[in-house]
């Protein structure tokens, strides 16, 4: 169970941009990134040198991941990502980010590093795969770009491949994972879907959905039911915010049974941005995820 193919996501986002005037900016940025990712997704191997959605490859990765209890992303070889595609796409992503006018100076410097070859994009991919915060931090400091934007750029390169891997992962395996971080890409989810009284954590980055312990904070692991609470959202019965009074962090929960219009996969976080405002008002902290 992964996110839909890039082409389909693009169609949905284009439609939603017409309907959701309140979300023009985040949806617009998302659309631009999808347009760039379409180039990756249109290559037969999704921007890699291997067939990353080959069932045997995915099965092997799943086995390693379950044995070591580490997300699949740790077992990917950075050199499986095609250098030409990666460098071309990363420059395009940085250009889109520059247009957003956030951290412009740093991003321009980063772009010049990428253009001159001073920065080895596959080294950066490797750091992202291994969750090597120190290496990411070094590049970020050197170029003066926020680490989150750097991770966003690398994320855009590896996302199509991870979406395919999540799509080929065995659902029963995802149910056996029983950890808060995404079993495929290692990210901490911002959203969950409630289905038949079971809470599934949703990774909007790769599309993995996996069963979670209702009475456990996804951020700090707190299991004390008296300190795990929820916030109802006014006039929106299909949504709630599950939060932990110990770490003050939260997860946005979509109650499928009460949902009027379905929320397309991959868009759960953007389409519930209003919940982040409610959470902020309640003095809760949003976990800064890799993709933000
Ligand atoms: Zn994921
Ligand atoms: Zn907590």
Angle, vertex CA 112, rays to CA 108 and CA 115, nearest 5: 135
Rounded CA gap, 54 and 51, in Å? 5
- Ligand with an atom nearest the CA of residue 201: 1
Q: Domains along the chain?
A: 6-168 (no CATH), 171-281 (3.90.1670.10)
Please name the residue that has the structure tokens 């760039």: 36
Going from the C-alpha of 238 to that of each of 243, 258, 260, the distances in angstroms are 16, 5, 8
Q: What is the mean pLDDT of the chain?
A: 91
Given the DSSP bridges, would you call strands 250-255 and 191-195 parallel, antiparallel or unpaired? parallel
pLDDT in tens, 269-286: 999 999 999 999 999 999
Residue 159 C-alpha to ligand 2 middle, in angstroms? 28
pLDDT at 191: 97
pLDDT in tens, 135-172: 999 999 988 999 999 999 999 999 999 999 999 988 77
Which residues neighbour 151 within 8 Å (Cβ) at sequence distance 6 or greater?
Answer: 128, 136, 290, 291
Residue 247 C-alpha to ligand 1 middle, in angstroms? 23
In 10 A of CB 273, how many CB atoms?
15
* Mean local confidence (pLDDT), 221-231: 95
- Ligand with an atom nearest the CA of residue 242: 2
Residue 227 C-alpha to ligand 2 middle, in angstroms? 9
Least confident of 17-31, 173-187, 191-205, 219-233: 173-187
Model pTM score: 0.91
């Amino acid at each position: 169970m992964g996110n839909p193919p890039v082409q389909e996501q693009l169609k949905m986002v284009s439609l939603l941009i017409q309907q959701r005037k309140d979300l023009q900016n985040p949806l617009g940025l998302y659309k631009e990134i999808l347009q760039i990712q379409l180039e990756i997704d249109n290559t037969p191997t999704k921007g890699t040198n291997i067939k990353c959605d080959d069932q045997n490859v995915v099965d092997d990765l799943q086995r390693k991941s379950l044995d070591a209890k580490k997300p699949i992303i740790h077992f990917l070889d950075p050199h499986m990502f095609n250098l030409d595609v990666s460098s071309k796409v990363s420059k395009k992503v940085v250009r889109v980010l520059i247009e957003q006018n956030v951290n412009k100076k740093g991003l321009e410097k980063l772009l010049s590093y990428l253009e001159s070859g001073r920065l080895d994009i596959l080294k950066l991919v490797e750091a992202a795969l291994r969750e090597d915060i120190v290496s990411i931090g070094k590049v970020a400091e050197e170029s003066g770009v926020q680490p989150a934007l750097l991770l966003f750029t690398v994320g855009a390169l590896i996302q199509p491949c991870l979406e395919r891997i999540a799509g080929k992962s065995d659902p029963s395996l995802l149910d056996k994972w029983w950890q808060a971080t995404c079993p495929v890409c290692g990210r901490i989810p911002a959203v969950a879907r409630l289905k038949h009284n079971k809470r599934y954590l949703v990774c909007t980055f790769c599309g993995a959905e996996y069963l979670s312990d209702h009475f456990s904070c996804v951020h700090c692991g707190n299991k004390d039911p008296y300190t795990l609470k929820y916030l109802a959202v006014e006039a929106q019965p299909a949504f709630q915010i599950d939060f932990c009074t110990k770490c003050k962090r939260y997860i946005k929960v979509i109650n499928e049974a009460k949902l009027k219009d379905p929320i397309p996969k991959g868009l759960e976080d953007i389409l519930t941005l209003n919940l982040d405002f409610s959470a902020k008002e309640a003095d809760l902290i949003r976990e800064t995820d890799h993709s933000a």
